[in-house]
Structure 1
Amino acid sequence: MNERVIDRPRSRGFLFLDSHPAGCRQVVADMWEAVAAPTAPPPADGPVALVIGSSAGYGLAATLAGLKRAGIRGIGICFEKPATARRTATAGWYRTAATAELARAAGRDFVFLSGDAFSDEVKEQVAELIAERFGGKLDYLVYSVAAPRRTDPETGTTYASVLQPIGEASCTRTLVFDDAGAPAVREVRTAPAAEEGIAQTVAVMGGADWERWIEHLAGRGLLADGFATAALSYIGSPLTEALYRKGTIGAAKAHLEATARTLDKRLSELVGGRAVTSVNGAAVTQSSTAIPGIALYLGLLRGVLGERLVPPTAQLSELWDQLTGVSPLRLDEEGRVRLDTWELTDEAQAALAERWQAATTENIGQLADLEWFHGEVQRLYGFAVGGVDYGAPVATEVPWPGQPA
């Protein structure tokens, strides 16, 4: 078994080239502990759920909260890479291994697959597992996919998403760190997207693949009576809307929400089911850190709210409570579950806008919680995690769950 010391991360901006197995394991353990236990222990034969995008961000939070709070069994899908002679495995690989251990310890039969969730091959593999291992009926599907590209299984066309405003160029403030970790506030100008870029982003990040999943499983007769599905989404602040909600990603999110309304009607008629989008609050994730302006926004948000910032595990625990009937399903006028209201209060947004305009490289340390933000970015890859000895050798070749060591 390959062991080596990984005492510090190698990174290019917010992209880390290695991850720390023990650190990733501890991050998952900390998230598990943060999920509040249900009032009554869930039964061993809990509902069958499929989480698509189970290894990172809100998808990981959905998996952990579902296992501990809702007692789900079922399947998690992600796309991760094992360790090589030169590189560690991806952080999601190690997080998945840790999640599988917690599921086993809790007595939950939960299978993890690493593959292209956009492909029909993976959809059929999941369908076979539901039919053969989980009684032939799926109760819940949580869709949490953030990918730069998608290949359409029918046409073979590969679409690539772009991160651009629509209509006119945008100039947004953003936060960067140099190699020594020193912060700087800068402005980034982004040209407007062409129609082709908008269409391709919608094809990747809109609702097409979510709908294809539902069609495939329904076609196999695998949806239980009362089946419910939720696609995770984000709206965000007016401060970031030019590049996000009013940009190409926003067009994809609008398509996702329109897909939810179509699916909701169909599922209601088919199995008495529901389809919703869940609008979550801001969080430091591997996807969000790639968006200009989001790093600055998140640091300032934490500076304003402090411990009132609601972590993904708490938000997804609330989503599971609503999906499973522990608490009522609360929807806005667009039919969306809103888990972001704590972020978008008038008070919080006014304070954020004031700090956003005032922020400079010289004063950003007083306006934003940079220590928290920088730590959260490192934690995505298993670094800066309390209780981990980074000077000790660690095994990098961790088997995928279900494979022999």
Structure 2
Amino acid sequence: MSTQQITPKQRGYLIVNSHPAGSAATVERLRDGLEPASGDSRPVVLVLGSSAGYGQSVLLAGLRRHGVRGVGVAYETPASERRTATAGWYRTAAAAELIERDGGDFTFVNADAYADATRTEVLELLADRYGRVDYLIYSLASPRRSDPATGEIHHSVIKPIGAAYTSPSLVFEDGEPRIGSVDLSPADEAERAATVKVMGGEDWRLWVDALAGADLLAPGFTTVALSYVGSEITAPVYRQGTIGAAKEHLEATAHALDAEVLGERGRAFTVVAGAAVTQASTAIPSIALYTSLLRNVLGEDGWRTTADQAVDLWEQLTGARPLNLDGQGRIRLDGWELDESVQQRVRELWADPAAALAAEPGGAAWFYQQFRELYGWDVPGVDYSVEVETVVAWPSR
């Protein structure tokens, strides 16, 4: 037993510890906010990146509304004598408890999804317990990836391509927001290529190839990879930068999977989600400021959470609503964000972000709380003055 009272250890947008009860509470709140739907199809789903962000929201929405069964893969760190477990570890344990309480059937694997050994383990688990896969949800986000063919470790970078990038940014000092500045030099070709290796579609294809080779594709199999386009405001560091190059590769992979692997057996899409506060997005310069201003423009009623978007995605994938495809064949969930009237107002605020922040600090305060909640902190209803057990077991099989 490792019961103790813990406080957040934070520097800027990095928090190195997490709160077990707070992390669990975020999962329960997300699950309880999803309206259940009746149905007896119970499709088999493989979720890669099931412990956080869009991946976990798609998982919980699938469980709550469609009774999905299957496997979730994440790579999280357990508690030690000196540190708590990662928030994703605690969230996964909480999700497993809720699934068991609801009578569901889902198995969680804690392993490096980029590794061949993990693919072998997961495919054997699927074959033994669940059978052929109806949906593969690809939602991995990592700063590095080991190439299973060569063993080389590739590191992604967040940089512009072709020209330097200077932008206002949102900085927090003791929880108080202020406007700072970010300056990034352009990526070289090696950095661009490494980012594509980590965040592009190469690993996604390896998973689909492996499922196909093991005869684990169900009739009508569908796979989607989560992506983002975003605003012209953030384009120089995102869509036109190294991350954008990786996303373009991801989108090209969807078309290649359709043409070269799936054919009449299934379909592959990238999914363009809307803005969100996630552990991945907070690492991108200027995204915090953009998201805060966007929140001010939209307010609570206009904002679409990751859970809202996950429900939308499942309705499209299951045929409850027609697919909302753009000209490149991508499923779009981001119309609420990229509405021209919304973007025009954000552009006006971006022109003088210090004045915008002074006039309406609510969006920045909301962003800060959302960011802290990613690690289980500042969650309403959680008493942080009491001791908690930090050693929590990974869900058993």
Aligned match of 1:171: 166
Q: Distance in 1 between matches of 2:264 and 2:154?
A: 31
Q: Distance in 1 between matches of 2:347 and 2:23?
A: 34
Tell me the amino acid that sits aligned with residue 69 of structure 1: R
Q: Distance in 1 between matches of 2:39 and 2:100?
A: 15
Aligned match of 2:39: 42
1:300–1:4: structure 2 CA closer, same or farther, 3 Å change rule?
same
Q: Distance in 1 between matches of 2:116 and 2:80?
A: 28
Q: Distance in 2 between matches of 1:37 and 1:265?
A: 36
CA deviation after TM superposition for structure 1 residue 325, in Å: 1.6
State the Cα deviation string for residues 154-197 of structure 1 (Å, max 9, x = none).
Answer: 1111111111000111111111111x222221221110110111
| Partner residue of 1:76 out of 51, 72, 76 | 72
1:2-401 map, 5 Å: 2-6=2-6, 8-38=7-37, 41-43=38-40, 46-134=42-130, 136-178=131-173, 180-271=174-265, 273-307=266-300, 308-360=302-354, 364-368=357-361, 369-401=363-395
Q: Distance in 2 between matches of 1:99 and 1:42?
A: 21
Give the conservation status (yes or no) of the 8 Å contact 1:267–1:275: no
Give the conservation status (yes or no) of the 8 Å contact 1:198–1:251: yes
CA deviation after TM superposition for structure 1 residue 85, in Å: 0.7
State the Cα deviation string for residues 276-333 of structure 1 (Å, max 9, x = none).
Answer: 0110000000111111100101111111101111000010111111111222222111
**Which residues of structure 1 form unaligned runs of 5+?**
none
1:203–1:25: structure 2 CA closer, same or farther, 3 Å change rule?
same
Give the conservation status (yes or no) of the 8 Å contact 1:138–1:227: yes
Choose 351-360 or 250-259, whichever is displaced more.
351-360
Tell me the amino acid that sits aligned with residue 378 of structure 2: A
Give the conservation status (yes or no) of the 8 Å contact 1:355–1:367: no
Give the conservation status (yes or no) of the 8 Å contact 2:227–2:270: yes
Give the conservation status (yes or no) of the 8 Å contact 1:89–1:396: yes
Q: Distance in 2 between matches of 1:253 and 1:266?
A: 19
Q: Distance in 2 between matches of 1:322 and 1:28?
A: 24
Which SS does the other structure have where 2:338 is aligned? coil
Q: Give the root-mean-square deviation of aligned CA atoms.
A: 1.2
Q: Distance in 2 between matches of 1:212 and 1:154?
A: 11
Q: Distance in 1 between matches of 2:67 and 2:28?
A: 17
CA deviation after TM superposition for structure 1 residue 367, in Å: 3.5
Give the conservation status (yes or no) of the 8 Å contact 2:74–2:110: yes
State the Cα deviation string for residues 213-269 of structure 1 (Å, max 9, x = none).
Answer: 000110111101100000000000011000000000000000000001111234552
Q: Distance in 2 between matches of 1:115 and 1:227?
A: 24
Which SS does the other structure have where 2:335 is aligned? coil
Q: Which runs of 4+ in 1 moved over 6 A?
A: none
Give the number of equivalent residue pairs.
395
1:207–1:24: structure 2 CA closer, same or farther, 3 Å change rule?
same
CA deviation after TM superposition for structure 1 residue 37, in Å: 1.8
Structure 1 length normalisation: TM-score? 0.95
Which SS does the other structure have where 1:343 is aligned? helix
Q: Distance in 2 between matches of 1:379 and 1:232?
A: 22
CA deviation after TM superposition for structure 1 residue 363, in Å: 5.1
Tell me the amino acid that sits aligned with residue 240 of structure 1: T
Choose 319-328 or 49-58, whichever is displaced more.
319-328
Q: Distance in 1 between matches of 2:108 and 2:64?
A: 16
**Which residues of structure 2 form unaligned runs of 5+?**
none
Tell me the amino acid that sits aligned with residue 88 of structure 2: G
Q: Distance in 1 between matches of 2:246 and 2:232?
A: 18
Tell me the amino acid that sits aligned with residue 35 of structure 1: L
State the percentage of identical aligned residues.
Answer: 50
Structure 2 length normalisation: TM-score? 0.97
